[in-house]
Structure 1
Amino acid sequence: MASSGHLRTFLTVVESGNVTHAAATLGRTQSTISVQIKQLEETLSVRLFQRQARGVELTEEGRKLLPAARRTLEELQRVGDLFGNPLRGRIRVGIPDDYDDTILEKLLVEFSRRHPEVEIVAHSGCTSKFPEAIRLNKLDIAVCSGAKMSAGELLSSEPNVWAARDTLELAPDAPVPLAILDRDCWWREIPTGALDEARRPWNLAYSSESFASVRAAIRAGLAVGVLPRNTLESSMRILTQREGFPVLPSSQRVILTNDDAPHELTSAMSEAIVAAVG
């Protein structure tokens, strides 16, 4: 089923005329917009756009979808206006522990301000456990990350980089002092797998179950680690291929929701997550 988020992205691309302008309007990256359109096309089993020299143009199938998409979003808005009562209830949300404090504060404080009668139960941790928690009805909504996420609404696509303290000096032939997460998840596999494949030696310099602790070890100059590029701090630098560090896969973040959870609560939280991250 096409989500309201995918339909909103579709309409924004139509109205903007190209992906670049749509990304700017929605406050998302171009790759995120492109992936969402692709997901919508795969869901509907049609091609919605064809590329032109200066942008994109609707296909016949895209022109058929356009009025239906507009009606759907307008009806959703009318429902919201009709039942303008404040949201009430309890929502359990899974939040990646690699999100920095500013994102968490923006998300939780803003949601509580807009929906003061909703109780938030936030779980911060390894995102690889969130899909199972949703399946077991332990979470209502969660942000999950991985190399290629096939389920959920795409939130972002982020490049990962090798990060080190800007004053850290590394000998070319010496093993890489590595900081990794001490848990079975994708974030542990990224650095070790990439270095092993590149046949570059490494040793374990720091490990922790906390993403914040791994970041602190990198910040202190104790070790090298992998971080999402947009979370790098001013005291850190990126280690490149020229220095012998292999290119890393990007990570996709998606929003997963529990079908058994109250839709009005998960929809409101989903919008808050998009606003906080964007």
Structure 2
Amino acid sequence: MKSFHFDVDLLRTFVCVADAKSFTIAGERLHRTQSAVSVKIKKLEDQLGHRLLDRTSPVRPTSIGAHFLETARRLIDAHEDAFIELTQACQVERITVGTSETYAVSLLSPVLKNFKKCFPQLEIEIRCGHSWDLLEAQSSERIDLVLATHSPKHSGVTLQRQKLIWVCGPNSIAYQEERLPLAVFPNGCLYRDAAIAALVQMRRPWSIAYTCSHYDGLLAAISTESALTALTESAIPSQFKRLDRSHGLPDLPTMDVALYRAPEISPVARKLGSVIEAYYLGDQSVVNPVDSSNQHSRDPSTSLS
């Protein structure tokens, strides 16, 4: 019987293409060119002696490929579990997670709580910043995972959608001003761009009253009662007033929250990425990163539509 020595990188590429249903999207997620992804898939198919994927649009596994897909997932999991067990027993590892101040509190903390229990020696650096800055710096500054507002320039896995909402201080009537005073994050912020675009489309005059680099600064600005801003639903403190069309303001779009992985990350960092995905996509079988039989229920207060 012919023996196989599978390259985990080839298996991971195959699973990524099958999940993405596209060589192009898989290449973006793996930080590889489409041609490099195709070469890896061809190499794996040659090793097995079977065609695994139909090069259609969307890409689909062949009947043999669909059967092998589950085997590939198990082999990848076994490889990573072995590394994780060794990490837990023998060494301290460091993972860097980048996210915004708003997402760190409202989205990331519930997941890290369980993960840290399973890896007590693991050092997790939470690097807070603006989504666009973190995504640009992910490769050069070795940020393993970035939880950020979806950017069309980067390929990530969408976790959930959040409604963007107009917000002002509890007693503010700033929304009644003829020229709407805004408190915003710096240029590059998708919230800022969406709010201004909606006002322009409505032909509602506006001006920038405050530019704030940090979330706390933005809340301080609207607390003055002299400006309003746009925030995602999970980031709005209860004491602030939510505004809508009844206040003479335009509707705002939803924002996709996505998870982005660096090109080269350790199995432990990859496992944390899987746990974050599971928590927000509802796959409870991997929420506990060590024992899938001990499943954690989701906290409904952090589950958004």
Deviations 1:226-246 (A, max 9, x none): 111233333334322343322
SS at match of 2:272: helix
Q: Is the 8 A contact 1:148 1:252 kept in 2?
A: no
SS at match of 2:132: helix
Query: Which of 243, 248, 253 is equivalent to 2:252?
Result: 248
Q: CA deviation at 1:247?
A: 2.3
User: In structure 2, how many angstroms separate the alpha carbons of the residues matched to 1:139 and 1:158?
Assistant: 24
Provide the residue aligned with 1:76 in structure 2: 76
SS at match of 2:138: helix
Q: Is the 8 A contact 1:154 1:252 kept in 2?
A: yes
User: In structure 2, how many angstroms separate the alpha carbons of the residues matched to 1:201 and 1:121?
Assistant: 42
Provide the residue aligned with 1:19 in structure 2: none
SS at match of 1:98: helix
User: In structure 1, how many angstroms separate the alpha carbons of the residues matched to 2:127 and 2:115?
Assistant: 15
SS at match of 1:267: helix
User: In structure 1, how many angstroms separate the alpha carbons of the residues matched to 2:182 and 2:56?
Assistant: 44
1:225 aligns with 2:213: no
Q: CA deviation at 1:128?
A: 0.2
Query: Which of 197, 207, 220 is equivalent to 1:203?
Result: 207
Q: Is the 8 A contact 2:164 2:191 kept in 1?
A: no
How has the CA–CA distance of structure 1 residues 61 and 82 changed in structure 2, closer, same or farther, with 3 Å as cutoff? closer
Query: Which of 118, 143, 157 is equivalent to 2:122?
Result: 118
User: In structure 2, how many angstroms separate the alpha carbons of the residues matched to 1:63 and 1:220?
Assistant: 63
Q: Name the structure with the higher strand share.
A: 1
Query: Which of 90, 94, 111 is equivalent to 2:94?
Result: 90
1:160 aligns with 2:161: no
SS at match of 1:233: coil
Provide the residue aligned with 1:190 in structure 2: 194
User: In structure 1, how many angstroms separate the alpha carbons of the residues matched to 2:99 and 2:175?
Assistant: 37
User: In structure 2, how many angstroms separate the alpha carbons of the residues matched to 1:166 and 1:45?
Assistant: 55
User: In structure 1, how many angstroms separate the alpha carbons of the residues matched to 2:104 and 2:226?
Assistant: 20
Q: Is the 8 A contact 2:80 2:268 kept in 1?
A: no
User: In structure 1, how many angstroms separate the alpha carbons of the residues matched to 2:64 and 2:164?
Assistant: 39
| AA partner of residue 201 (structure 1) | P
Gaps of 5+ in 2: 1-12, 27-54, 281-301
User: In structure 2, how many angstroms separate the alpha carbons of the residues matched to 1:126 and 1:247?
Assistant: 24
Q: CA deviation at 1:272?
A: 4.0
Q: CA deviation at 1:114?
A: 1.7
Q: Is the 8 A contact 1:219 1:235 kept in 2?
A: no
Q: Aligned residue pairs: how many?
A: 235
For residues 60-75 of structure 1, the aligned pairs below 5 Å read 66-75=66-75
| AA partner of residue 78 (structure 2) | R
Q: CA deviation at 1:151?
A: 0.5
User: In structure 1, how many angstroms separate the alpha carbons of the residues matched to 2:252 and 2:64?
Assistant: 40
| AA partner of residue 270 (structure 2) | S
Deviations 1:12-33 (A, max 9, x none): xxxxxxxxxxxxxxxxxxxxxx
Q: Is the 8 A contact 1:137 1:258 kept in 2?
A: no
Q: Normalising by the residue count of structure 1, what TM-score does the alignment of the two structures yield?
A: 0.68
1:176 aligns with 2:180: yes
Query: Which of 261, 272, 277 is equivalent to 1:269?
Result: 272
| AA partner of residue 110 (structure 2) | K
Q: CA deviation at 1:225?
A: 0.8
1:105 aligns with 2:106: no
Q: CA deviation at 1:120?
A: 1.6
How has the CA–CA distance of structure 1 residues 188 and 179 changed in structure 2, closer, same or farther, with 3 Å as cutoff? same
Q: CA deviation at 1:142?
A: 1.0
Q: CA RMSD in A?
A: 3.3
Gaps of 5+ in 1: 8-38, 49-59
| AA partner of residue 197 (structure 2) | G
Q: Is the 8 A contact 1:168 1:221 kept in 2?
A: yes
Q: CA deviation at 1:152?
A: 1.6
Q: CA deviation at 1:220?
A: 5.9
Q: CA deviation at 1:200?
A: 0.8
SS at match of 1:73: helix
